Every structure is written in C-alpha cells, then in structure tokens.
Structure 1
Amino acid sequence: MANPVFYIGADQAEAAEQLKALETTLPAARTKHEGEAKLLKEREKAFTEYRKVLARTVSERLRQPTRYEAPQFVADVDKLGTLAGGKLSDADLDAAAATCARSEPPAKIKQ
C-alpha cells in the first residue's frame, strides 16, 4: 500500500485553515437556516389564511352569488394595483356594496 504524498504551499495552507474555521460555523448556520425556513413557512401559512379571510369578507360585503376565494381576490388586487391609486374610495366601495345588495335588477335603459 502506498502512502499519499501531498505538497501544500502557503496559499493552500491558508485556505485549509479558513476551511476549518468555516466548518466550525456550519452547524450554527444550518440551525439558523432551519429556523428561518420554519418562520417563513409559518408566515406564508398566516398570509394564505389572511387572504382567505379577506376574500370571505369581500364576498359577504358584496353579496357574491358564487364563492369568492383567495386566488380570485389576489387576481383582483393585482388588477386594482394597475389603476390610479390602486384603492377604491369609501364612497365607491359603499356604492358597489349598495348595488350588490339590491334585490331587483337595475332598470333597463331605452336605446
């Protein structure tokens, strides 16, 4: 059996020491990464629930005949974001809610 022979220059020795120093920080970095990944997952779950609640609130306020769910809510928010200001005024929102709350259809327009 032959014994391996390595020649290490000054730059390789320095790199080996840097590697050893970094290897000691690896467990702490992994633990930190796992904690941050868990926190991200919890925040994503909370945000998903928040969107569901907002979609339900919008649906109830506007008396939607069909289910209004979070994906449609997100798409609508994206569309509103392209409008000036990206937000309905309170008067416009109240007018939309009043229109949705009407039990009879609007009067026909004569042409």
Structure 2
Amino acid sequence: MSPEPGVPEGLDVAGLQRRLADFAAARNWQPYHTPKNLAAALSVEASELVEIFQWLTPEESARVMDDPATAHRVRDEVADVLAYLLQLCGVLGIDALAVLDAKIDRNEERFPAPGTD
C-alpha cells in the first residue's frame, strides 16, 4: 500500500511513536512522561500555536503560511502538538487513528449532512 500523497515512504503513526519513545528513553525522560505531564505539555504547545494566530484577522490567518518565518513557526508548533499527543496516546495505550475514526462515525450520526436524513 502506498503512503498518502506528500507523506514519506515508511512514515506511520506507530513508527513516529517509537521514535518519540526512543528519543525520550535515550535521555531518561520517561519518568516525566506521565499522562498528566504530557497532557499539560500538549496544552502548552497548543497555546503556542494559538498565539501565532491570536491577533490576526480571519483573512490574515488564512494567509499565515505565505510568510516563510511564520510558516516555519506554525509547522514547528503543529509538530510539537502532534508529538505530545502521540506520546500521550502511547502512554495510555490509545490508538489515535482508531479513536479518531470512531469519533468521526459518531459525529456523522449526531450531525447528519443536510439532505441525508
């Protein structure tokens, strides 16, 4: 099966989680990677992402990736948010893709598209 367009070959959630776990283990950070600490770090990183957009108009926010320096900051913060989320899922034994898929199913039932009743 080929990867999604734009996704490097061999890149997957489980592999990224292993890399993150290996990175933390090599630095003996596992004692700090408790669910509470990871959830707090996730919140901090999400706030740093929000900060980039805080005072932008809707139009400016839609063009945020046009400025190379700002685009770099956005990509870094998105990476940080995703890293902490994947680490939290790993610690808690949550399959991030499976729970997202199930949540989309529930949302499709709760909020049917117009004309699909």
- Could you tell me the TM-score, scaled by structure 1's length? 0.29
Rg larger in structure: 1
- Could you tell me the TM-score, scaled by structure 2's length? 0.28
Greater relative CO, 1 or 2 (CA 8 Å, sep 6+): 2
